[in-house]
Chain A
């Protein structure tokens, strides 16, 4: 009689390509990245950083109501996006705007969603950062944690049925893996043999809950085998490692019609959201350490610079351009009208039901009778 121990003596090793100084570790195997791709990746990582800072400040200034940054997780965001094909369907949690950025969502479009104005693709119906774009194969963010995981199994199933050369890619945090839907999604994807890549951003914190209080296993990667899913642990702050891992996982998922689990180790540099002050539960030193010495953007920058593909000039240009565009986008988004009342009752169903029509008429009546009680521009 032998009990399987609760943990292995060794933790699952972490796949890595670049060391902390941005140098390729001897004998690493990785998928080479061209200059063009590398430069684009870096530019987007830098843009994402600037975007996060500026929108965060905008929230602090009261211009938008809420914001979530992905500071510290730029490599996961951009490198994973770079490794996917445009037809791959992405089901985000909420800390992956970089994937949408990579796919072509403009800074103006991000701003529009955050301000919930008329031009927002979501028609002002969701909180800030709940982006969604059918055109970019990026499912609309839904706040409840982990609901996207079984949905990803469904997307994988759909792609499998239609025999498409594409996979579903879905993201979850370390905290989200405690949800029942994590178990559900992984188990189903495995049983259905669906082409789904599950990417867990293990960033150490779920609001104030540290991973030591979230699970007792060796992170998330060990859970894959429990479902019969091939898994890998990767250094999430190493853009090249993330790129290679996601690219390989994607190929496996599509070619072999199976799910794959990637645990990307990283650190949540920012607060959980603008409603959180993380210094309440972690030391400022810890945050500084990860922000400065373990910064994924700097690390990748060093590698790109060492290859002679990037200069300080390029750096200041990209950052100031991004900043300028963002400020303009915010100014414009702020000025544009909010969606009209006429949009309040649309899209609940494909066609409004009678009771919704009545409710709309009732509201219209009210607004017409007492326009002084309603904000200006609140027209039907």
Chain B
């Protein structure tokens, strides 16, 4: 109960903040709903620090043992609508996909085991039964083939959602993604569009081995013509899925192996998220922490500790990996003057590296300290649990980094 009261209290203060600074451009989201979502976002974020949902934690992770039980920005629905339904992230993806397939008969799904098996992570569960096995197509094992197939189908008017069983496997499809998906709209002089969505789980999981723990966003980020987004909550997973399907551009939707079982209550009414927008997770004054996907949770865990130590970090989930939402990021930098990037990509050539460059280039004058970027080690992800744990950024490191930056 106390949480809700606190939430409302925070809301008044924060709404002022909201109206002044965070009027982002929404190109594709439904206007009314998007504004509502942002407000809700902020309300929830501001009140997370002391919220404790105890055993009924809204965050349940597979194999979770010591990480963040409650630190996430939960979207406690404190507005008048107490409806909404609770679901897991993979179910949110499925819901978004199903809604779009209902809405537009051109939307189809292709990939390995997506049909009657329901997908390796159950994102396409039940869809083959409902839409038939032509529209939810099980393909032979050849990533380059089904990606190429999706591109050909898209050029003929369909809107395929291509699932890579693991993002790492999409390296086999790099030729089709780079040379065709990203390029054909341009090289055909705009005659052909390729409205595909390429999605799948990536990132470092729990002892899945090096080949199954890759961060493809690093490799794909240079490809002109594609957009990249990373989902991190059931809310934005569904919203981004829908937006990606509706987009006329090829969009790569990065999901994370460890986030599929996150639980959250999402609105009953229809909504989509803006593909190019970053998400304000927790407004603050002292430092801007930019992150995405699973690292968001490590950051929020660290944020708990930091708040207890008296810091006020602003946490932004950048969500849009290509292009970066420099508007939201810029506003934050101008306010806090300190930036910490926390990513799961490797130190060399990751999203963090590009983001550091972009911030330095655009907001150099507003920085009181050099941009710091915490990334994974430049090593293939080892299998041993203890080793694996220390290839990625841990909350303790984030706390230390913030303390260092805020001296």
What separation, in Å, do the CA atoms of A52 and B147 have in the docked complex? 34
Tell me the bound Cα distance from A122 to B187 in angstroms. 6
Chain A residues, Cβ within 8 Å of B144: 150, 180-181, 184
| Stretch from A3-11, A141-149, A241-249 forming part of the interface with B | A141-149
C-alpha gap A149/B224 in the complex (Å): 23
Q: Is A133 an interface residue (CB 8 A)?
A: yes
- On whether A155 and B137 interact (CB within 8 A), knowing A121-B189, A121-B191, A347-B189, the answer reads no
| A151 pairs with B187, CB closer than 8 A | no
Interface residues of B in 185-210 (CB under 8 A from A): 185-193
Residue B29 interfacial (CB < 8 Å) = no
- Per the bound structure, the CA–CA distance linking A51 and B56 in Å amounts to 75
B134, A348: Cβ atoms closer than 8 Å: no
Identify which of B7-15, B61-69, B81-89, B152-160 touches chain A: B152-160
B186 and A347: CB pair below 8 A? yes
CB–CB B155/A151 < 8 A: yes
Known: A125-B186, A142-B179, A150-B144. Contact between A349 and B193, CB under 8 A? no
The number of chain B residues touching the other chain, given as a range, is 35 or more
| Contact present for B191 and A133 (CB under 8 Å) | yes
Docked complex Cα distance between A321 and B33 (Å): 64
Q: Which 7 A-B pairs have the closest CB atoms?
A: A150-B148, A154-B152, A151-B152, A184-B145, A154-B149, A154-B153, A123-B189
Instruction: Confirm or deny: B135 has a beta carbon within 8 angstroms of a beta carbon on chain A.
Output: yes
Tell me the residues in window 164-187 of chain B with beta carbons closer than 8 Å to chain A beta carbons: 175-176, 179-180, 183-187
Which chain B residues lie closer than 8 Å to A348 at the CB level? 185-186, 224-225
Give A298 to B340 CA distance when docked, in angstroms: 73
Contacts of A142 in B (CB 8 A): 179-180, 183-184, 187
Nearest-Cβ distance from residue A191 to partner chain B, whole angstroms: 6
Contact A147 B180 (CB under 8 A): yes
Known contacts: A142-B180, A144-B179, A159-B156. The answer to whether A151 contacts B151 by CB under 8 A is yes
The residue of chain B having its C-beta at the shortest distance from the C-beta of A157 within the complex is: B153
The stretch from A61-69, A305-313, A350-358, A369-377 touching chain B is A350-358
For residue A47, give the distance in angstroms from its CB to the closest CB of chain B: 24
Those of A84-142 within 8 Å (CB) of chain B: 89, 91, 120-123, 125-126, 130, 132-134, 139-140, 142
A192 within 8 A of B: yes
Q: Complex Cα distance A133/B192, Å?
A: 9
When chains A and B are docked, how far (Å) is the Cα of A153 from the Cα of B160?
A: 13
Within 8 Å by CB of A185, from B145, B175, B183, B249, lies: B145
Asked whether A161 is an interface residue with its Cβ less than 8 Å from the other chain, the reply is yes
Given A134-B192, A158-B153, A347-B189, residue A188 in contact with residue B323 (CB < 8 A)? no
Give A356's nearest chain B residue, CB to CB: B323
CB distance from A288 to the nearest CB of B (A): 37
Q: How far is the CA of A146 from the CA of B257 in the complex (A)?
A: 33
B373 to chain A, nearest CB (A): 19
Interface membership of A320, Cβ < 8 A: no
- Within the complex, what minimum Cβ distance (angstroms) separates B229 from chain A? 13
B152 touches A354 (CB 8 A): no
Q: Which residue of B lies closest to A196 (CB)?
A: B152
Known: A150-B176, A161-B108, A350-B248. Is A181-B192 also a contact (CB below 8 A)? no
The answer to whether A150 touches B152, judged by C-beta atoms less than 8 angstroms apart, is yes
15 new A-B contacts at CB < 8 Å, known A183-B142, A188-B142, A188-B145: A91-B152, A121-B188, A132-B192, A134-B191, A139-B152, A139-B155, A140-B188, A142-B180, A150-B176, A153-B145, A180-B142, A181-B148, A188-B139, A347-B189, A355-B324
Name the distance in Å between A227's Cβ and chain B's nearest Cβ.
10
Asked whether A140 and B148 contact (CB < 8 A) given A158-B156, A188-B140, A354-B323, the answer is: no
Tell me, yes or no, whether A168 is within 8 Å of chain B by CB: yes
- Give the shortest distance, in Å, between A154 (CB) and chain B (any CB): 3
Q: How far is the CA of A162 from the CA of B156 in the complex (A)?
A: 10
> Taking the complex as formed, is A187 at the interface, i.e. its CB lies under 8 A from any CB of chain B?
yes
CB pair A154–B140 under 8 Å, yes or no, is: no
Which residue in chain B gives the minimum CB-CB distance to A183? Answer: B142
Query: Which of A153, A184, A350 is most buried by chain B, counting CB atoms within 10 A of its CB?
Result: A184
Q: In the bound complex, do residue B148 and residue A185 qualify as a contact, i.e. CB atoms below 8 Å apart?
A: yes
Q: Cβ of B326 < 8 Å from any Cβ of A?
A: yes
Contact B189 A353 (CB under 8 A): no
Contact B190 A123 (CB under 8 A): yes
User: Nearest Cβ distance between residue B314 and chain A, in whole angstroms?
Assistant: 21
Chain A proximity of B309: nearest CB distance (Å):
36
B150 in the interface (beta carbon within 8 A): yes
State the CA gap A270–B140 with chains docked (Å). Answer: 38
Instruction: Tell me if B327 counts as interface (CB < 8 A to partner A).
Output: yes
A260 CB–B CB distance under 8 Å: no
Contact with A along B112-150 (1 / 0, CB 8 A): 000000000000000000000011010110101111111
Closest to A349 in B: B249
